[in-house]
Chain A
Amino acid sequence: MTGSRLPAGGLIDRTKPISFTFEGRALTGYAGDSVASALLANDVRIVGRSFKRHRPRGLLSLGMEEPNAILNVGTGAHAAPNRFATELPLAQGLAVSPTRGWPSSRFDLGGVLDLWPTPLAAGFYYKTFIGPRLPGVRDAWNRLWEPLLRSLAGQGRAPEGVDPDAYDHAHIEVDVAVVGAGLAGLAAAEAALGRGARVALFERDIRPGGRALGRDGDPRIDDAAPLAWAEGAWARIADNPRATAKLRTTAFGLYDGRQLAVYELPVDGPYAGRIWHVRAKEIVIAAGALERPMTFPGNDRPGVMLASAVEAAIRRYGVRPGGQAVVFLNHGDGAGLRQALNAADIEIVAEVGPDETVTGTQGFGRLQSVDIAPLGPDGLPRMDARRRVPADLLATSGGWSPALALHLIQGGRQAWSEADGCFIAAGGGQDGVRLAGAANARFSAAAALADGHGSTAGGAPGPKTTGGDAAPSGQGLPLAPIAAERLKRQAFIDFQHDVTVADIGLAAREGFHAIEHAKRYTTAGMGTDQGRTAQLATAAALAAATGREIGDIGLSGLRPPVTPVPFGALGGWRRGALFAPVRQTPMHRRHEALGAVFEDVGDWKRARYYAAPGEAMAPAVARECRAVRTAVGALDVSTLGKIAVAGPDAAAFLNRVYTNRMDTLAVGACRYGVMLKDDGMVFDDGVVARLGPNRFHVTTTSGGAAAVLNWLEDWRQTEWPDLKVWLASVTEQWAGVAVAGPNAARTLAALAPELDLSDTAFPHLTWRDATAAGLSARIFRVSFSGERGYEINVPWRHGEALWDAVLAAGAIPYGTEAMHVLRAEKGFIVVGHETDGTVTPVDLGLSWLISAKKGDFIGKRALARPALTAPGRKQLVGLEPEDASVVLDEGAQIIATATPRPPEPMLGHVASSYWSSALNRGFALALVKDGRARHGERLFAWSLGVAHAVRVRDPVFYDPKGARLHA
């Protein structure tokens, strides 16, 4: 293999080569590589282009802080955008490409943007495109600028096609969940296991060890090298039956009730995976620390890398990231780095001392030289004393910041610690959640182990360290950007979003002094890397620009997920047929066989109409309507909500719930009723049947059943606990078929020959128990079509048999669309069509349903409010379009003129609109201001630019005397 791989060393398996492609180029790495380390080993120095300026960008890190190497993985339907190359284990056949760069990341035409820097400064979207107009171009933003910008920018490519992978969700409950299997996390997990706890340990890397993986010079732990100790501890934990230990598993959310959300990648590649929902009594966040880049001119050139990444490249991956290195640290923890550079035979051409700084870098697409200048007494570099050294690697570190994301997103606070040189956790968050190790600003190995182990009374002693241990900290050179603005050179704060020190300065001058404002104005920290390297630099630059302390500036807030998670993983199994629960009636297969087209009503699938082969919806609905009006139809009404109400106070309870009296209902009879909320607005409607002195059967709308039961339980349990009444849902105990039409009695007689169907023996609005089609049935004589009608109810499991018998007796199946046409012809309301939470029964013309004779009922007091009796309320009316062929749009606005001039007064809206085969015209129900006084008036229904003349009329279009109920 060519490239930069060292001849030996590293935690890679050189006997297992892995082929992959980058931008179509075939490359090879080894088992144990990340995509990032494999790219580095193959001398790929440009891994992408920046967001705004399309500057070439290389690997800054080899860890979770990476802002540049964020890649598209896979192609076609398999494509996954925004994956971190540094976090992605190399897998055979993997195809990765940069998120940006056209035609390629090495030669990007968008790079010309970098030659035109001024308009791309902070706030350029607002200044350039929202305000000024281009002469002759209407809507320039939407038509011109946004499409242009989107083609140049973009945050990854969406997959083409349906994701072929299956993602799993799993739940686990433990005593202690530990995030991170570094030294602190391992110590915490072992300590918890030692006290008998059930433990879950999650590590995002493919190996345990954390800092021990890429670092040398730490002390020995329990007489073992740090990495050997970590691997031993991991093995002990994984072998413990009380432990669940997972690698390649990232905690991305921490929610109320100590619930961790964790994403586990499968072992064989970057696709699919599993989300773990973890509940724990105690959570230990041992997520480590993030190394911070220094802010100096030219700090984004490929070849500038974090010191920890240089060390990890050499020690962990056996890669030589350059030949001549400049070392630029703001702290004294460089011994391990220097040893690593020496071991890899990389010449340290210069080390930037505490009295010096980097003032620039050179190189096209790859670092070639570095300018170093001494700092003068004013703290500014003395450019006259500047020297230029050749280098293809610049190892830089601005110290470390604890990884606080999980702590912060669950409500934790942070505060600047001058002693640690970083923001540290400062309380807040949930009880039972603690930080440990570097995440808790315990940067040395010994301190991290002790912190992870904790002070468990009576527990086993923690791991013992021996030997020296240099603790990195943020102390040293100031974090403030180094004179970039004075030098008029670009020093980058956010590598992904191209935010420079100058942008922060501009934002500060324009008044964006608060960190959250400056962030949004400049977009610093708003990239897919979530600003892990940008956050502190932004605060430092803003502090410098406004003359404040960094601790007073603070950091911007964070939200979950703390790292990108595929939408497919979040969705899990809840896609396609499993997206939402589906409720089917026992006749569902029969509907399918009859060619039913279904509609969703709540979770139910209801047959909307039955299309004969080649039959469109309109003729099918007209045919079904004619069947009911002239012969007999059958409708599956099993979905109706049904509630059993029982108890000595059942009648009193229903009397308080409905607007009309239910206590006077005779056993054997039924009655239509509406329920209001206590604001006087219609909430639901249905039929109440009295089964016995203390027993009622209540029906609700199909979609409202659960809400009605919850609501009734609310009143029963919280307002009237003294009433002796009980409620139970019986929706899925009863399957039902409505038989309606002039031949309905004949059809029912064929099914139930022993039942007397005469109007005297079985009048409208009564119910009878009978045997129908050999089944025990409860039959309600009710009508929602205006025709003579029966609703035959049988036990749920017999629904299909009942349906078959009704059809065999001659009834024509009809769906919910025909049901709607038929009920609207009769002016019957449907909750949700004619009501929207602002409609009273008086508005609907249902005053006759409101009992004046009984005591209180829900909504009664509100109905007496002056506003609900004042003129100008919208009332239910019928509308006849003057052009009989017109079917108005539902939702069309009712206005008084055909040529509206805004602000045109709105008089109302169309609530339901259909074609009526019985009337041979389009017709509609509408809610119109003072509508009952407008019968005969000519108004206009306006929708989508078209106004149709309509005549206002009574809402009952068909059989106003109700004679057909007895036909």
Chain B
Amino acid sequence: MLLIPCPHCGVRPETEFVYGGDATVRRPDPKTASLDAWAAYIYERDNPKGPHTELWLHASGCHSWLVVERDTVTHAIGQVRQARDAAS
């Protein structure tokens, strides 16, 4: 089971978290986005082998959405930031 170091709560097992998918997806400007761009944002996700930047919600903890660097091969967890900080 993964261990994710939550910046607020400390190291916690993955059962306390909810996975939120690729953290690098950006929502296009809905006013200008083409249909293809919108479809890509909604539906298209890579399934990379290796480093992946992804969102996790500490649902059974502080309710922070976190941006977590995880290696999909080794499951090693790298940097963990608050999504709020990463977004701004």
Query: Does chain A have a CB within 8 A of B75?
Result: yes
Q: Is the CB of B27 within 8 A of A719?
A: yes
Query: Does chain A have a CB within 8 A of B59?
Result: yes
Of the four ranges (under 10, 10 to 19, 20 to 34, 35 or more), the interface on chain A belongs to 20 to 34
Write the nearest CB–CB distance from A262 to chain B, whole angstroms: 14
Which residues of B lie under 8 Å from residue A678 when comparing CB positions?
27, 41-42
- A259-B1, A411-B74, A721-B87 in contact; A714/B20 too (CB < 8 A)? yes
The docked-state distance in angstroms from the alpha carbon of A372 to that of B61 is 70
Query: Does chain A have a CB within 8 A of B8?
Result: no
The docked-state distance in angstroms from the alpha carbon of A722 to that of B87 is 10
Which residues of A lie under 8 Å from residue B9 when comparing CB positions?
none
A-B pairs with CB below 8 Å: how many?
A: 65
Q: Is the CB of B65 within 8 A of A714?
A: yes
Q: Is the CB of B38 within 8 A of A865?
A: yes
Stretch at the interface among A747-755, A854-862, A925-933: A854-862
Q: Is the CB of B2 within 8 A of A256?
A: yes
Which residues of B lie under 8 Å from residue A431 when comparing CB positions?
76
- A257-B13, A717-B84, A718-B83 in contact; A856/B55 too (CB < 8 A)? no
Would you list which residues of chain B between 11 and 27 have a CB under 8 Å from chain A? 13-14, 18, 20, 23, 27
Which residues of A lie under 8 Å from residue B23 when comparing CB positions?
718
Which residues of A lie under 8 Å from residue B82 when comparing CB positions?
717
Query: Does chain B have a CB within 8 A of A362?
Result: no
Q: Is the CB of B1 within 8 A of A257?
A: yes
Write the nearest CB–CB distance from A276 to chain B, whole angstroms: 14
Which residues of B lie under 8 Å from residue A862 when comparing CB positions?
38, 42
Which residues of B lie under 8 Å from residue A706 when comparing CB positions?
59
- A256-B1, A722-B88 in contact; A865/B83 too (CB < 8 A)? no
Write the nearest CB–CB distance from B88 to chain A, whole angstroms: 5
Set A259, A411, A718, A865: member contacting B35, Cβ < 8 A: A865
Q: Is the CB of B65 within 8 A of A713?
A: yes
CB 8 Å contact bits of A251-285 with B (1 = contact, 0 = none): 00001110100000000000000000001000000
Which residues of A lie under 8 Å from residue B18 when comparing CB positions?
710
Closest residue of chain A to B31 (Cβ to Cβ) is A856
Query: Does chain B have a CB within 8 A of A430?
Result: yes
Which residues of B lie under 8 Å from residue A722 when comparing CB positions?
88
The docked-state distance in angstroms from the alpha carbon of A120 to that of B9 is 59
Q: Is the CB of B83 within 8 A of A856?
A: no
Closest residue of chain B to A714 (Cβ to Cβ) is B65
Set B3, B42, B84, B86: member contacting A679, Cβ < 8 A: B42
CB 8 Å contact bits of B30-68 with A (1 = contact, 0 = none): 110101001101110000000000010101000111000
Write the nearest CB–CB distance from B65 to chain A, whole angstroms: 4
Which residues of B lie under 8 Å from residue A411 when comparing CB positions?
74
Closest residue of chain B to A255 (Cβ to Cβ) is B1
Q: Is the CB of A710 within 8 A of B59?
A: yes
Which residues of A lie under 8 Å from residue B87 when comparing CB positions?
717-719, 721
Which residues of A lie under 8 Å from residue B30 when comparing CB positions?
856, 860-861
Q: Is the CB of B57 within 8 A of A710?
A: yes
Which residues of A lie under 8 Å from residue B33 when comparing CB positions?
861
- A678-B42, A710-B59 in contact; A257/B65 too (CB < 8 A)? no
The docked-state distance in angstroms from the alpha carbon of A714 to that of B25 is 13
Which residues of B lie under 8 Å from residue A718 when comparing CB positions?
23, 55, 65, 83-84, 86-87
Closest residue of chain A to B88 (Cβ to Cβ) is A721
The docked-state distance in angstroms from the alpha carbon of A722 to that of B84 is 9
Closest residue of chain A to B63 (Cβ to Cβ) is A713
Write the nearest CB–CB distance from B67 to chain A, whole angstroms: 8
The docked-state distance in angstroms from the alpha carbon of A679 to that of B27 is 12
Set B35, B41, B75, B83: member contacting A256, Cβ < 8 A: B75
The docked-state distance in angstroms from the alpha carbon of A722 to that of B88 is 8
The docked-state distance in angstroms from the alpha carbon of A710 to that of B14 is 16
Q: Is the CB of A713 within 8 A of B35?
A: no
Which residues of B lie under 8 Å from residue A257 when comparing CB positions?
1-3, 13-14, 75
The docked-state distance in angstroms from the alpha carbon of A38 to that of B3 is 45
Which residues of A lie under 8 Å from residue B14 when comparing CB positions?
257
Which residues of A lie under 8 Å from residue B65 when comparing CB positions?
713-714, 717-718
Q: Is the CB of A717 within 8 A of B83?
A: yes
Which residues of A lie under 8 Å from residue B1 when comparing CB positions?
255-257, 259
Would you list which residues of chain A between 26 and 78 have a CB under 8 Å from chain B? none
Closest residue of chain B to A261 (Cβ to Cβ) is B1
The docked-state distance in angstroms from the alpha carbon of A722 to that of B65 is 15
Q: Which of B2, B27, B64, B88 has the most CB of A within 10 A?
A: B27
The docked-state distance in angstroms from the alpha carbon of A279 to that of B14 is 13
Which residues of B lie under 8 Å from residue A279 when comparing CB positions?
3
Which residues of A lie under 8 Å from residue B83 when comparing CB positions?
717-718, 721
Q: Is the CB of B38 within 8 A of A861?
A: yes
Which residues of A lie under 8 Å from residue B84 when comparing CB positions?
717-718, 721
Which residues of B lie under 8 Å from residue A255 when comparing CB positions?
1
Closest residue of chain A to B42 (Cβ to Cβ) is A679
Which residues of B lie under 8 Å from residue A719 when comparing CB positions?
27, 87
Q: Which of A256, A259, A710, A717 has the most CB of B within 10 A?
A: A717
Q: Is the CB of A430 within 8 A of B74?
A: yes
Write the nearest CB–CB distance from A657 to chain B, whole angstroms: 14
Closest residue of chain B to A258 (Cβ to Cβ) is B3
Write the nearest CB–CB distance from A105 to chain B, whole angstroms: 41
The docked-state distance in angstroms from the alpha carbon of A590 to that of B46 is 52
Closest residue of chain B to A865 (Cβ to Cβ) is B35
The docked-state distance in angstroms from the alpha carbon of A279 to that of B11 is 12
Closest residue of chain A to B86 (Cβ to Cβ) is A718
Which residues of A lie under 8 Å from residue B75 when comparing CB positions?
256-257
The docked-state distance in angstroms from the alpha carbon of A710 to that of B33 is 26
Closest residue of chain B to A279 (Cβ to Cβ) is B3
Write the nearest CB–CB distance from A635 to chain B, whole angstroms: 29
Q: Is the CB of B3 within 8 A of A714?
A: no
Write the nearest CB–CB distance from A855 to chain B, whole angstroms: 9
Write the nearest CB–CB distance from A260 to chain B, whole angstroms: 11
The docked-state distance in angstroms from the alpha carbon of A411 to that of B74 is 8
Would you list which residues of chain A between 722 and 768 have a CB under 8 Å from chain B? 722
The docked-state distance in angstroms from the alpha carbon of A856 to that of B29 is 10
The docked-state distance in angstroms from the alpha carbon of A771 to that of B34 is 54
Set A430, A679, A714, A860: member contacting B55, Cβ < 8 A: A714
Which residues of A lie under 8 Å from residue B39 when comparing CB positions?
865
Would you list which residues of chain A between 211 and 262 have a CB under 8 Å from chain B? 255-257, 259
Write the nearest CB–CB distance from A783 to chain B, whole angstroms: 33
Which residues of B lie under 8 Å from residue A709 when comparing CB positions?
63
Closest residue of chain A to B26 (Cβ to Cβ) is A719
Would you list which residues of chain A between 847 and 868 have a CB under 8 Å from chain B? 856, 860-862, 865-866
The docked-state distance in angstroms from the alpha carbon of A257 to that of B57 is 19
Write the nearest CB–CB distance from B72 to chain A, whole angstroms: 12
Closest residue of chain B to A277 (Cβ to Cβ) is B1
Which residues of A lie under 8 Å from residue B76 when comparing CB positions?
431
Which residues of A lie under 8 Å from residue B88 when comparing CB positions?
721-722
The docked-state distance in angstroms from the alpha carbon of A678 to that of B40 is 12
The docked-state distance in angstroms from the alpha carbon of A719 to that of B27 is 8
CB 8 Å contact bits of A599-616 with B (1 = contact, 0 = none): 000000000000000000
Closest residue of chain A to B59 (Cβ to Cβ) is A710
Q: Sample 21 A-B pairs with CB under 8 A, ordered by A number.
A: A256-B75, A257-B3, A257-B14, A279-B3, A411-B74, A430-B74, A431-B76, A678-B27, A678-B41, A679-B43, A713-B57, A713-B65, A714-B20, A717-B65, A717-B87, A718-B55, A721-B83, A721-B87, A860-B30, A861-B33, A862-B38
Chain A interface (Cβ < 8 Å from any Cβ of B): 255-257, 259, 279, 411, 430-431, 678-679, 706, 709-710, 713-714, 717-719, 721-722, 856, 860-862, 865-866
Knowing that A257-B14, A718-B65, A861-B33 are A-B contacts, what are 16 other residue pairs whose CB atoms are under 8 Å apart, sorted by A's residue number?
A257-B13, A411-B74, A430-B74, A678-B27, A678-B41, A679-B43, A710-B18, A713-B63, A714-B55, A717-B83, A717-B84, A718-B83, A718-B86, A861-B38, A865-B35, A865-B38
Chain B interface (Cβ < 8 Å from any Cβ of A): 1-3, 13-14, 18, 20, 23, 27, 30-31, 33, 35, 38-39, 41-43, 55, 57, 59, 63-65, 74-76, 82-84, 86-88
CB-CB nearest 4 A-B residue pairs: A861-B30, A257-B3, A717-B65, A718-B83
